[in-house]
Amino acid sequence: MTPSDTNNVLVTGGSGYLGTRVLTDLLNTGVHVRTTVRSLDGEPALREAVRRGGADDTDLELVVASLTDDAGWDAATDGVDGVYHLATPMTHATEPRELVVTPAHDGTVRVLRAAARAGVRRVVLTSSFAAVGYSPKPVNADGAREYDESDWTDPETPDLPAYPLSKAVAERAAWDFIAEHGDGMELVALNPTWIAGPTLTNDARSSLQAFAAILGGQMPLAPRQRFGIADVRDVSAAHLAAMSTPDAAGKRYLLLADGPTISWLGVATLLRDHFGDLAAKAPTEEVPGEELPGLVIHNERAKRELGFAPRSAEATIVETVEGMIARGMLG
């Protein structure tokens, strides 16, 4: 597919942290964008966020549809050429397994089924590294666990938290649907790591909550965890590239910054070094425990095939907090 093939697109979950970026970038290309929301109550704030990103919201249309209900999806997909499926059910770590698996699976299939009925040519699915690398692997010769797009999180992994479970189940459901019922419709899955970067909204959601906790002293000890960082601006650009790159069909793409992955203590140290007194409450020690294996996540496929050009993790971390300061989100 080329950009000229997608004059009308649907974005599910457009009011979120990533969603507002994707809406903004799409509108700036001149296409008509329809987005699903659970309620129209937030329409003024959504339009304000898009305008804050520099886009004209004239060609933005909002429709109500829920991942847990069939109502509204045929209208949402009617007349669109491509679908960006960002929406995901809200999950909590304490919820029973079936309350996580069912909406994650059924919501994805519900969107794909409506897209297939509407004759949509390609769906870009926002999956996650959580669907790739949350099942332990043997360490390599350098003492690290190494992941690429061939890896999958096994839903049967013991003690698997709700979020990676839901993402693994949802992405599997998408590929199964395409194989069995796609009827020529194409699928591309994007698997970003932890997303950070400047927000267009006024809500401290997603990763912004973690930054607020670090700076506010709610994280006295840093959890022992390594992860990749993906800038929300780069992830949004990858969505547009995934829709317009012909050879992307049928593939997964890991998205994250170049270089080594980072730890929570590494994030806290960077914030202390850059922001001084503002980060005085950031943790200086990790939770006691054994040293974790290294973590290597490959982004070469996205760079080679989608033109993915990620910002550095350091720049993303700093610019996230600078954006929060500018928006008055840090008290």
Tell me which residues are annotated as active site: 167
Residue 34 phi/psi, 5-degree rounding, is -110, 140
Residue 180: both structure tokens together: 């069995």
Q: Give the separation between CA 48 and CA 15, rounded to whole angstroms.
A: 11
